[in-house]
A and B are shown apart, each in its own frame.
Chain A
Amino acid sequence: MRKSLYLTGMLMLSFFLSRGVAFAQDEEKKWYDMVDFQGYLESDLRFIVDDWRGPTDGDGYKFQMNRNDLDLRLGITPFETVRAVVDTRLRMYGFSEADTMQGLNKRETVDPFAIYLDEAYVHVQGLGWEGMDLKVGRMVQNWGTVDQFNPTDNVSARDLSDPLDSFAKVPNQMIEIDLYPADWLTLNFIWVPVFKPSMLPPSANLGFAIGYDENGCFKDLPTPPMKIEYMEELMNMFGAIDPCSLNFVDPEMQIVSPDLKIENSQAAAKAKFLVGPLDFSLSYYYGRWSFPVPATGYAGVDNNAEDPNMLDVKYIVELTYPRIHVAGFDFSYSADWFFDVGFVGEVAVFFPEKVDFALRAFQNGNLIIDKVNNNVPTTPFVKATGGFDYTFTSWLYLNAMYVRGFLDEFNDMYGIHNYVVMAWELKFLEDELQFRIAGIFGPDDMSGSFQPRITWVVVPSVELFLQGQFYFGDEDSNNPLDFKAKDKLAWKPVGRNIVALKAKVSW
């Protein structure tokens, strides 16, 4: 109901604003100049083209998404130095969630939707001094010079809920002060009062799924960040038991979020310099790692109350967001002396908070395993990305990068790994038809993914996309007891093989 009211209100607001603009055109042009309006409608249909990367074998070859997004972005500039931006998005998910008769009475279960407020902020220029800007409100920050794999970009959490949109961020409330003391220097200071975590792909739960064999009997536990000898001890606990007698309750992944104390807020600062053909920044961030890190595990085995031949097993993992300090450097450089190639790079040194992983296992209430090992050491570690882009012809473009440390890698027991990222773009028919093939390859474990995309600009403002996301490598760990043994990009929690058909109209 509240969603419906919100939606109605938003649409009425849009209507009256548009009417207001129309009136303003007739009566006073200045009002028209104060308002700008953008948005898009996007329809997104996706199909899973595998049946081996789901929660169970054989789950696949079905629709994954049937989504429509309506984005409305309004900018108001009431004064020359004041600007407000509101960016809302209505998302219709397209799959009925009605699983009871009562649910069929409610539109929101038959046709579920959500309303996002992607941005809502006020920007004031020349606050107190001509060279000072203030931004307050809900927004995202995009730091760094490389594409997508920005180790210095830690202020805004990632939104990885859509595997085909890896640039998305989670908006958050923040205060930003920008200083422009000279043409060659920009200073940014940001304070984020409340921490927000990154959003994960829908498949992320598979990282903590119980493995079953073809008979539906227990096969293996999700591998926690523990020493192999500890894992062997844990598995031995189950090894003496008929695996078909184990009744696993779905594992619980409990998130331990930082409380709302001011000391849990985040702060960041950046100094950007322009020196001839080189732009570079020095940055600092203090806050929390936005991806959850396992900290404790609990396994309990109890006799089933109804069937004496069965054992109930409960597995709970607590995940935390460790504190971090990050010192960063990024640059972009146009090499006029070397075919006009553009080079970009980022280096970030992380100073993490120590995270130990503790596992306790109980059998009928008796503690039988109590192990602790270090998951994230306090040792500083480096993540870096370096790359170049080049336009060979008006229709052929290449962007290539080396990445040290994937988006979610944090020097836990899995460690920091190496990746090569490459994207080719080809344009034909005066850019009306565009082909893009992008890929990520991890030489450490020989896994990877690639994303082909065809874009057809039917007419200006109207685009059709046919794209896909495919993974290769070994989905199964070569040692289920070893947290490090997974093949990163082939790992099932990363996502499904899909093809997508999208249509987008922008205004």
Chain B
Amino acid sequence: MTRKSMAALFCLLMLVFATTAFAQQNIDKSNLTPEQILKGQDDFTNGFADQEMEFTFNVYDVNGSLKKYDAIIQQKGRDKRLIRFKSGEVKGMSILTEENNRMYVYLPGYKRVRRIAAHNMNQSFVGSDYSNNDMAACDYSRDYDAVKNKEDDKFWWLTLTPKAGKKMDYSKLVMKISKDVFRLWETEYYNHKGELVKVFSIEEPKDFGTKVTWPPQVQMKDARTGHKTVLEIHTFKVEQGLKDSMFTQRYLQWAR
């Protein structure tokens, strides 16, 4: 699983989790353009005032070995994000993203908060290949043009290609989006050679006790090697009224 895969995984995860006043609105979905569907996805991603998710990050190597890390992500709006690792050799490490992608990391071994430069967005961390970039907000409608391939009673299939002038990691994405709540069920990723490199999929959503249902697991599988990463979702909460003060360096020091 590459860091790019993980970035995509995180984005897709957030899409899956996103819920939606938009989806519950009484709109005529039969006439939505591909751009509107994609825009809906972006709105889903940041559709909550705040959200919190506890999960286990399961990395399966091709030889079957498994690495697990527990973590919690809290997010407010589009820009404020706090990730804390709860297990493994990085337990206690926290990463804060403030507005304008200003990022800080708290390293328990050094007992200090350090600013992360932009190049570090591509750096993997936590002893896994999860990069800072994986935490970045996703805005597909900003970066991709969409074409509707087909649809049935339950799903749309969109093909996404980078907008002119946009340098993206993939030449093409194929998304399968449900019509009920605009949930993303599957995505295929194609590299610049046109090869299928990985596939994202989710399990049947279940009730987490919130006003919407969520998939208990999401999976990203490398189409070439068979390597896969599974996020096992334990809790998902929304609209808890998370304070702005939680997304500050002050809190980063406080929670250590």
| Chain A residues packing against B (C-beta within 8 Å) | 38, 75, 83, 123, 125, 133, 140, 142, 145, 167, 178, 180, 183, 186, 274, 276-277, 279, 332-336, 339-343, 389-391, 393-395, 397, 427, 430-432, 457, 459-463, 504, 506-507
Contacts and interface: CB of A to CB of B under 8 A. Distances in A.
B87 A461 contact: yes
A427 B123 CA distance: 10
A395 B178 CA distance: 37
B210 interface: no
Interface of B: 1-3, 59, 61, 67-69, 87-89, 91-92, 100, 102, 108-112, 114-124, 127-129, 131, 248-250, 254, 256
Contacts of A393: 122
Contacts of A389: 117, 119-120
Contact of A342 (B68, B118, B254): B118
Given A186-B250, A430-B128, A460-B89, 15 more contacts: A145-B115, A332-B115, A340-B121, A342-B115, A389-B117, A391-B119, A391-B120, A394-B123, A395-B124, A431-B127, A431-B129, A459-B67, A460-B68, A460-B87, A463-B89
28 contacts: A125-B254, A180-B250, A186-B249, A276-B100, A332-B117, A334-B118, A335-B117, A340-B121, A341-B117, A342-B116, A342-B118, A390-B119, A391-B120, A391-B122, A397-B123, A430-B1, A430-B124, A430-B128, A430-B129, A431-B129, A432-B67, A457-B89, A460-B67, A460-B69, A461-B89, A462-B89, A504-B89, A507-B91
Contacts of A459: 67
Nearest to A332: B115
Nearest to B88: A460
A341 B129 CA distance: 21
A75 B84 CA distance: 15
Contacts of B249: 186
Contacts of B89: 457, 460-463, 504, 506
B122 A430 contact: no
Nearest to B69: A460
Contacts of A334: 115, 117-118
Contacts of B129: 394, 430-431
B17 to A, nearest CB: 23
Given A133-B250, A460-B127, A506-B88, A430 B102 contact: no
Contact of A457 (B61, B92, B121, B127): B127
Contacts of A274: 102
Nearest to A133: B250
Contacts of B250: 125, 133, 178, 180, 186
Contacts of B115: 145, 279, 332, 334, 342
Nearest to A150: B112
Contacts, number: 106
A397 B250 CA distance: 28
B117 A340 contact: yes
Closest 7 CB pairs of A and B: A342-B117, A460-B88, A340-B118, A340-B119, A142-B112, A334-B117, A332-B115
A341 B119 contact: yes
Contacts of B108: 38
A339 B119 contact: yes
Contacts of A343: 117
Contacts of B120: 342, 389, 391
A431 B59 CA distance: 12
A431 B128 contact: yes
B13 to A, nearest CB: 19
Contact of B91 (A38, A145, A332): A38
Contacts of A38: 91-92, 108
B130 to A, nearest CB: 9
Contacts of B92: 38
Contacts of A460: 67-69, 87-89, 127
A335 B68 CA distance: 34
A506 B117 contact: no
Contacts of A457: 89, 127
A445 to B, nearest CB: 29
A507 B121 CA distance: 27
B91 A506 contact: yes
Contacts of A391: 119-120, 122-123
A50 B114 CA distance: 37
A391 B122 CA distance: 7
B123 A123 contact: no
Contacts of A83: 254
B91 A431 contact: no
A432 B66 CA distance: 12
Nearest to A180: B250
A279 B91 CA distance: 27
Contacts of A140: 111
A33 B212 CA distance: 26
Nearest to B68: A460
Contacts of B248: 180, 183
Contacts of A335: 117-118
